[in-house]
């Protein structure tokens, strides 16, 4: 599967020779586009290697100006900030650049990147750069276990990190999860494994990576504006399977992912390993009678199976989504020859991050669940499918997605819907068309009626929690799974989730007197 918005790999004999830390990087003329976490890490690394670096970012914020001063001190050739600097590819010391390193979120159509293609300059992401630098004389080379998907990446990479560490290996979660992979490469710790979380943006700019094992957890429409279509999004996700060495692990529920594995150009001998939360067939991981089962990584898989752990080992609220994440992490660990008992210990030791199907309170028989990280319908689907009946708090920045399928699938489990956010018309339309019998409480309209600021997320969330309490009864679940981004009323999804947690905590205190 190939994207129509391909990242062209243009010929460059010198770049072809750059395959380790000890290669000749000195004097290489590099433009780093973007001064975020990954951009700063790339610039810092390249300067250490002796490259000549120009860093550009269209945002001249105080934070970026502080980074500029740091980079100038350690030897960057130049730092260009402000409006217009990313419209064209700058020169490096007056010469044409040899290479561009782009931050993952920058669109391929951005002027500086389009100009690089026009001039015949290769574009890499920080992951591609890290892969080329992974081998270093006198140091251990970490094996890469790579994870992507529309949802569940951070949970799965965290589970995998816990499994590897519990098994006694030096391992770290890197990439899209927060720790730049280049920083981990430069860490004095010599890691055995990297658990690498990869976004579709990062994969778009990666072409030579060869992971030990790789997985696509799930796919659904997301970031289609960036990729200029769903087909391109799928094609970039599929890049993770290219050159996989041992196991291409896939969600057997999704034909799109099966097709990715079928079309992947892998290292000879790599196997296709499926997973799902049902009875596993041969060469799969799955669930039987509440147990996580491996029928893939054992010699006599036609007649035998290995018990990895129990469903209850996957978290405080074991949902189908978390079970599938655990199976994917387990499959990656098995590809790395981790024993089943160590996997079970690692799953039990894993402490899930906040804001993903997080139990906030259980009071008077009502569950209060925070899934603020559900920033699109596919993510919200996972948590909605886990509870019934549900009082659903939803809404925010929709990013152009549709809600018809989500509402149609879950309308029978909805007791009521409480709408927050300022970009919720598509959600309201879907509820009206597909679930007209479900009561809808529009908090944003309530704010307008009272002459209040509809972008005040603190007020909106406190009102949503109060309304949910009024509607709730024993055995109900109040689920805050917005199926939308947060920036209309909150700084981040974490800010939104914490606001919900605080509002629920205040409610519980008031109830308990």
Q: CA 168 to CA 336: how far, in whole Å?
A: 13
Tell whether 255 is in a known binding site.
Answer: no
Among 180, 238, 230, CA closest to 206: 238
What per-residue string of b and e applies to 355-384 under the rule 16 or more CB within 10 Å gives b? bbbbebbeeeebbbbbbbbbbbbbbbbbbb
Tell whether 4 is in a known binding site.
Answer: no
Residue 215 CA from chain centroid, whole number: 13
Contact 458, 434 (CB under 8 A): no
Tell whether 58 is in a known binding site.
Answer: no
Tell whether 477 is in a known binding site.
Answer: no
Q: CA 164 to CA 141: how far, in whole Å?
A: 16
Distances 469 to 116, 287, 315, 395, 497 between C-alpha atoms, Å: 55, 36, 26, 18, 17
Q: CA 115 to CA 226: how far, in whole Å?
A: 18
Tell whether 149 is in a known binding site.
Answer: yes
Q: CA 51 to CA 28: how far, in whole Å?
A: 5
Among 217, 209, 279, CA closest to 249: 217
Tell whether 151 is in a known binding site.
Answer: yes
Q: Exposure of 95 by Cβ count < 10 A (0-12 exposed, 13-18 middle, 19+ buried)? A: exposed
Tell whether 154 is in a known binding site.
Answer: yes
Query: Directed axis angle between helix 493-512 and helix 457-471, to 10°?
Result: 50
Could you list the residues known to form a binding site, using ranges. Answer: 149-155
Could you list the residues known to form a binding site for ATP, using ranges. Answer: 149-155
């Amino acid at each position: 599967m190939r994207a129509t918005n391909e990242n062209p790999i243009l010929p460059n004999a010198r770049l072809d020779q750059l395959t380790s830390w000890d290669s000749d990087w000195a004097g290489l003329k590099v433009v780093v586009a973007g001064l975020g976490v990954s951009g700063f890490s790339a610039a810092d690394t390249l300067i250490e290697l002796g490259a000549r670096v120009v860093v550009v970012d269209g945002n001249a914020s105080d934070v970026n100006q502080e980074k500029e001063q740091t980079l100038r001190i350690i030897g960057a050739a130049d730092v260009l900030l402000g409006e217009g600097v990313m419209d064209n590819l700058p020169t490096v010391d007056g010469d044409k650049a040899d290479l561009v390193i782009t931050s993952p979120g920058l669109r391929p159509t951005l002027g500086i990147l389009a100009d690089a293609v026009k001039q015949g300059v290769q574009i890499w992401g920080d992951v591609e750069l890290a892969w080329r630098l992974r081998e270093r004389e006198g140091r251990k080379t970490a094996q890469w276990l790579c994870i992507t998907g529309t949802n569940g990446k951070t949970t799965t990479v965290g589970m995998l990190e816990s499994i590897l560490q519990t098994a006694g290996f030096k391992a770290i979660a890197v990439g899209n999860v927060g720790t730049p992979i280049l920083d981990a490469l430069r860490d004095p710790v010599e890691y055995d494994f990297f658990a690498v979380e990869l976004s579709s943006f990062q994969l778009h700019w990666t072409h030579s990576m060869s992971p030990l094992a790789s997985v696509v957890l799930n796919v659904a429409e997301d970031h289609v504006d960036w990729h200029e279509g769903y087909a391109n999004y799928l094609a970039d996700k599929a890049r993770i399977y290219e050159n996989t060495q041992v196991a291409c692990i896939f969600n057997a529920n999704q034909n799109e992912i099966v097709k990715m594995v079928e079309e992947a150009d892998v290292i000879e001998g790599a196997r296709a390993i499926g997973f799902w939360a049902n009875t596993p067939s041969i060469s799969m991981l799955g669930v039987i009678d509440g147990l996580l089962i491996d029928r893939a990584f054992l010699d006599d898989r036609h007649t035998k199976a290995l018990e990895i752990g129990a469903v209850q080992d996957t978290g405080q609220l074991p949902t189908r989504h978390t079970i599938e994440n655990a199976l994917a992490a387990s499959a990656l660990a098995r590809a790395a020859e981790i024993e089943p008992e160590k996997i079970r210990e690692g799953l039990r030791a894993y402490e899930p991050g906040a804001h993903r199907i997080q139990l906030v309170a259980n009071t008077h028989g009502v569950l209060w669940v925070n899934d603020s990280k559900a920033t699109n319908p596919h993510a919200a689907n996972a948590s909605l499918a886990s509870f019934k009946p549900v009082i659903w708090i939803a809404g925010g920045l929709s990013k152009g997605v549709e809600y018809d399928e989500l509402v149609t699938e879950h309308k029978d489990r909805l007791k009521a819907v409480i709408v927050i956010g300022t970009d919720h018309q598509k959600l309201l339309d879907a509820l009206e068309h597909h679930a007209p019998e479900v009561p809808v409480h529009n908090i944003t309209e309530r704010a307008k009626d009272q002459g209040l600021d509809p972008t005040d997320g603190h007020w909106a969330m406190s009102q949503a929690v109060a309304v949910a309490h009024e509607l709730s009864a024993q055995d109900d679940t109040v689920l805050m799974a917005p199926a939308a981004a947060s920036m209309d009323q909150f700084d981040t999804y974490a800010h939104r989730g914490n606001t919900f947690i605080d509002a629920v905590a205040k409610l519980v205190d008031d109830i308990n007197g």
